Homo-oligomer: A and B are copies of this chain.
């Protein structure tokens, strides 16, 4: 009953096996090997256009480099108040960019409200040196609270960004979970809707360590190569990332693992709905489920072996919540089993 994070799972067996299969032999270092190049090509196929791909070590690195690729003195990036870049990266985006700012924008259930974004951007006059100036907009897909921007949502956001001449970054730490939830394609969910740069995460969806920046503006690729190296994010034995992505994309493994994780979240949500001791906070749209539980009950569950964390109440959450209750997050992954969910269901009296 491990629902603490999709980071608690290890690697999918197919990925582990493929990595092992690529352990032997010699290959050029620093991303120039045959396998690296094949995987870059695979990314271009998946995104239906030529893209520049940069493997990095962590999602934090992918986000920080993505924003830094569009860095400006006095630059301000706009992201959701509860987004990962603000809440969980120890200031890495600001540090990587030498001090650019993240401006929190509110919106219900983890998604930027376009009207708020518009207002925040309108507040700045691009040539007025005192206040700084817009640099980027960043959205998280799926969001920190398990919701998903629809394609129209993305287009609304990118339209605002375009009108203010700033690029749109998509933090796709859970890219696949959102994409299968929308039943769409990488191209549709990104550049066709105005996204300029993507943090493409594989780690949470079955890899050990496979994160990449995917850049659509190839003219910026040369600079990003320097940004990545300077940030100590250029792997020498780069093929160990390439091998993971290679397996990830083979036979649509990544879609399968994401669909499985999302299905497990649905099953868990159903159990919570049926529960006598837990209430669903809002409907899950990807692989994260949020429930309101009495603190005592939560502790009892945890001591029965269920791993999950409590969570800040998000903006826009208005359900009544008792003094003795709290909000809890449950994350499912490729490794979550039906048996686990059902066992948990038993514990919560579903």
Q: Which residues of the other chain, B, contact A95 by a CB distance below 8 angstroms?
A: 73, 98-99, 230-231
Closest to A58 in B: B232
Q: CA–CA, A312 to B232, complex, Å? A: 23
Q: Which residues of B contact A74 (CB under 8 A)?
A: 90-91, 226, 229-230
Residue A347, interface by CB 8 Å: no
Nearest B residue to A63, CB-CB: B232
| Chain B residues within an 8 Å CB radius of A230 | 73-74, 89-92, 95, 99
Q: Which A residues, 45 to 75, have Cβ-Cβ distances below 8 Å to chain B?
A: 56-61, 64, 72-75
State which residues 257-279 of A face B: CB under 8 Å: none
Q: Is the CB of A91 within 8 A of B96?
A: no
Complex CA gap A48/B177 in Å reads: 46
Chain B residue numbers with a CB within 8 Å of A233 are 57-58, 61, 232
Q: Distance in Å from the Cβ of A244 to the closest Cβ of chain B?
A: 10
Contact B232 A64 (CB under 8 A): yes
* Oligomer copy total: 4
Interface string of A286-307 (1 = CB under 8 A from B): 0000000000000000000001
Q: What's the Cα separation between A76 and B100 when bound, in Å?
A: 14
* Minimal beta-carbon separation of A301 from chain B (angstroms): 16
Bound complex: CA A280 to CA B123 (Å)? 24
The distance in angstroms between the C-alpha atoms of A127 and B226, with both chains bound, is: 9
| Interface residue from B2, B11, B222, B240 paired with A26 (Cβ < 8 Å) | B2
Evaluate contact between A203 and B90: CB separation under 8 angstroms. Answer: no
A10 touching B27, Cβ below 8 Å: yes
* A322 located at the interface, meaning its Cβ lies under 8 Å from any Cβ of chain B in the complex: no
Contact B234 A60 (CB under 8 A): yes
From residue A19, how far is it (CB to closest CB) to chain B in Å?
7
A151 at the interface (CB under 8 A from B): no
State whether A131 and B26 are in contact (beta carbons under 8 Å apart), knowing that A209-B240, A236-B58 are contacts in the complex. no
Besides A4-B26, A87-B130, 12 other CB < 8 A contacts?
A5-B29, A8-B26, A8-B29, A10-B22, A10-B24, A10-B239, A11-B23, A11-B237, A16-B20, A57-B58, A88-B131, A90-B226
| 20 A-B pairs in the complex with CB atoms less than 8 angstroms apart | A4-B29, A7-B29, A10-B237, A19-B19, A26-B335, A56-B232, A58-B232, A58-B234, A61-B233, A73-B227, A90-B129, A91-B101, A98-B98, A98-B99, A129-B226, A129-B228, A129-B229, A209-B209, A209-B240, A231-B231
